[in-house]
Amino acid sequence: MDFHESPKVRTLRQVVGEFVEKEVIPLEPLLRREGFSAMLPRLERLREKARETGLFAAFMPEEWGGAGLTLVEFAHMSEALGRSPLGHYAFNCQAPDVGNMEVLLRYGTPEQKERFLRPLVRGEVRSCFTMTEPEHAGSNPVWLSTTAKKDGEEWVLRGHKWFATGADGAAFAICMATTNPDAERPHARASMVLVPTDTVGFERLGNLSIMGDRGGDWASHGEVSYVDARVPLSNLLGGEGMGFLIAQERLGPGRIHHCMRWVGVCERAFDILCRHAATRELSPGKPLGTRQMVQQWIAESRAEIHAARLMVLHAAWKIEHEGASAAREEIALIKFTVARTMQRVLDRTLQALGGLGMTDDTPIAFWWAHERAARIYDGADEVHIESVARRILTSYGMKKSG
């Protein structure tokens, strides 16, 4: 792996970094004070400015309106955008839309791409992804009650989903549903189906209250019910029974996006920590940073952030050169390592800020509440840790047991 940053990456980081500092971060107080929905007119103007950089939906190929960035290049951009809760949305790189775009690009039919992908890339609509079910453990994704059954030329969907990020206001959903319940392999039982949200039978029951906040529009997590929702058979995404294959391919690059965003969160928190330690005086002439404990927080945070960044860039490099299946261990390692790094850095920063850290005068309290989920979604820490350990022990000759 070459650690040299190309001129393209250096320019990318500079352009995006300056945009975030000058255009995005100044809007954060409004987000914390009034919420996402109240900001939509301003955010649309922000997105227009972001388009002018040529980096809107930059991970998409140029022929689709993106900048054609490689996964490693976009990883650097994701870090820069991660310095603000609004960064990825400003550039149309936010989850779940980014993953849905990648899936549609690879598996969508020409008709599906024109109807669903093109307006999504342009930022004219948003989407959501409905997979998790409240009745079943998310750590066992093959256990799904939602079904999609054929009836003539239509799929009929029945089921209950939640934690559908951005379902509020989304134009369509990608639904993971069981289509082949009798398939011998559990991972071949589900498929992905495209469901416009104006479909009769698609019901958004409301937004879940997350850490005391129901949010709105994209900044929300919806509960959805499929009540005999009918869509054409042509809305199948990929082949029948390919749901989990597509999901795994979606999650590989998706974890790079998330992890580098978390590195960006860490860098912003670290900057706040260091500025506070250098300027906040405990008594005249004695700043907080003179305390050995605070110096330890700073040194350990710097080392952990640096290590996390290198781990993620290596995983992205391996996906690019060898494919997601060859990088399964690296992808699992970064998922729980970087999520925990972010939690430690945020915790140290909040502790150093004291009462200030509990207020909404900085983004730390927001991230402390909303990023705790990083250790749960896209596979809980424990699931990734177990899978990595089992793979390692198998290479030492340990046999599988029930």
pLDDT of 41: 95
CATH architecture of 7-94: Orthogonal Bundle (1.10)
According to CATH, where is 1.20.140.10 located in the chain?
244-395
pLDDT of 401: 64
Rounded CA separation 228/225 (Å): 9
DSSP string across 296-339: HHHHHHHHHHHHHHHHHHHHHHHHHHH-TGGGHHHHHHHHHHHH
Domain 244-395 has CATH 3.40.50.300: no
Over residues 267-276, the mean pLDDT reads: 98
pLDDT tens-digit map of 373-400 = 999 998 899 999 999 999 999 999 998 7
Q: Tokens for 7, please give them.
A: 């001129």
More confident residue, 400 or 47: 47
pLDDT of 2: 78
Model confidence at 127: pLDDT above 90: yes
Rounded CA separation 24/21 (Å): 6
Rounded CA separation 101/95 (Å): 10
pLDDT of 253: 85
Domain 127-237 has CATH 2.40.110.10: yes
Dihedrals φ, ψ of 201, to 5°?
105, -15
pLDDT of 137: 74
Over residues 193-212, the mean pLDDT reads: 96
CA angle 66, 68, 71 (to 5 degrees): 120
pLDDT of 379: 86
Contact 319, 59 (CB under 8 A): no
Dihedrals φ, ψ of 398, to 5°?
-70, 135
According to CATH, where is 1.10.540.10 located in the chain?
7-94
pLDDT of 136: 82
Model confidence at 75: pLDDT above 80: yes
Angle between helices 71-81 and 243-279 (to 10 degrees): 40
According to CATH, where is 2.40.110.10 located in the chain?
127-237
Model confidence at 402: pLDDT above 70: no
Share of the chain above pLDDT 70, in %: 100
The pLDDT mean for the chain works out to 95
Query: Where does the pLDDT of residue 50 fall: very low under 50, low under 70, confident under 90, or very high at 90 and above?
Result: very high
Residue with tokens 């989850």: 95
pLDDT tens-digit map of 315-352 = 999 999 998 889 999 999 999 999 999 999 999 999 99
